Amino acid sequence: MRIRTLGCSGGIGAGSRTTALLIDNDVLIDAGTGIGDLALDELDAIRHVFLTHAHLDHVAGLPMLVDANFDENFEVPVTVYARSETVEALKSHLFNGVIWPDFTKLPDEKNPLLQFKICSPGETVRIGHRNFHAVDVNHSVPSLGYTVQNSGGVFAVSGDTKTNETLWPALNSCDDLRVLVIEVSFPDEQEALATTAGHYCPATMCRDLERLKHDPEIWLTGMKPGQEERILRQVIDAAPDKNIQMLARGTVINV
């Protein structure tokens, strides 16, 4: 399983792209602005999108992805998997015929290019050789993290979250957790803001990290532009015994 980082920033500017991870060549976890750097044939190969939640930095590229894939003679639709609350938000506020065309009805309602499938916490979706398992997390809106398992082990992504009681038991239940991508948006100086906004800061994330029974590679993501080095330094200082790195656009992880 090849995980290619298209975007991993908590904002834009100075080359930053927001969250999008390409699994092999056909599945996305989140569809932030990072997908805009893909070639047309790479966009056309994507047929499955797993969304963590409905915030714009995680879905901004989705309408353009569907548009780029539009062909009245398409063979396989683009399927978006998400919580019911996320699907409702996308239908009401994005694919509503005002902000963007409703591709669940195009080219026609019997054969649409875009289809939504509800993926609730605890559910597993199998695509090819990979199992995508949805995990409830604690953000400011209903959100998911995912564990992705194949024969090589388990890759996990937290999605946006603050301290929670659901992610860590799910991670501990994995037999072979190789990689954890975890969101840390704000430095410790902004811990109150981070908690209010539903995000980790280094101190809160590292306290939760003590509950993890495995020793995977840990990659930090979702940091606010300009704060990356400060956040990384604070995390490493708080958890010096962990294998912690900072995710960057273009990083490729193999599991």
pLDDT digits (tens, 9 = 90+) for 211-224: 999 999 999 999 99
**Alpha-carbon span 183 to 220, nearest angstrom:** 6
Three-class SS of 86-116: HHHHHHHHCCCCCCCCCHHHCCCCCCCCEEE
Q: How confident is the model at residue 72 (pLDDT cuts 50, 70, 90)?
A: confident
Kindly provide the b/e burial profile for residues 35-60, where b requires at least 16 CB atoms within 10 angstroms of the residue's own CB: bbebeeeebeebbbbbbbbbbebbbb
Cβ proximity of 117 and 81 under 8 Å:
yes
Residue 181: its pLDDT value, please? 98
**Alpha-carbon span 90 to 99, nearest angstrom:** 10
Domain ranges of the chain: 2-248
Cβ proximity of 50 and 82 under 8 Å:
yes
Residue 71: its pLDDT value, please? 86
pLDDT digits (tens, 9 = 90+) for 142-174: 999 999 999 999 999 999 999 999 999 999 999
Residue 14: its pLDDT value, please? 82
Residue 141: its pLDDT value, please? 98
Closest CA to 221 of 189, 184, 177: 184
> If you average pLDDT over residues 188-192, what whole number do you get?
98
Looking at domain 2-248, its CATH superfamily turns out to be Ribonuclease Z/Hydroxyacylglutathione hydrolase-like (3.60.15.10)
Q: How confident is the model at residue 110 (pLDDT cuts 50, 70, 90)?
A: very high
Closest CA to 94 of 78, 72, 114, 120: 114
Distance of alpha carbon 112 from the chain centroid: 25
The pLDDT mean for the chain works out to 97
The single-letter code of the amino acid at 165 is E
- Per cent of the chain over pLDDT 70 is 100
**Alpha-carbon span 151 to 134, nearest angstrom:** 18
- Return the C-alpha torsion angle 69, 114, 122, 141, nearest 10: 90
Closest CA to 118 of 150, 142, 154: 142
pLDDT digits (tens, 9 = 90+) for 88-108: 999 999 999 999 999 999 999
Whether pLDDT at 73 is above 90? no
Beta bridge partners of 50: 29, 81
Whether pLDDT at 35 is above 90? yes
Cβ proximity of 171 and 214 under 8 Å:
yes
| Residue 80: Cβ within 10 Å count | 25
Cα-based distances in Å from 99 to 4, 115, 141, 164: 29, 18, 21, 34
- Return the C-alpha torsion angle 123, 85, 185, 221, nearest 10: 40
Residue 100: its pLDDT value, please? 98
- Per cent of the chain over pLDDT 90 is 97
> If you average pLDDT over residues 230-247, what whole number do you get?
97
pLDDT digits (tens, 9 = 90+) for 112-140: 999 999 999 999 999 999 999 999 999 99
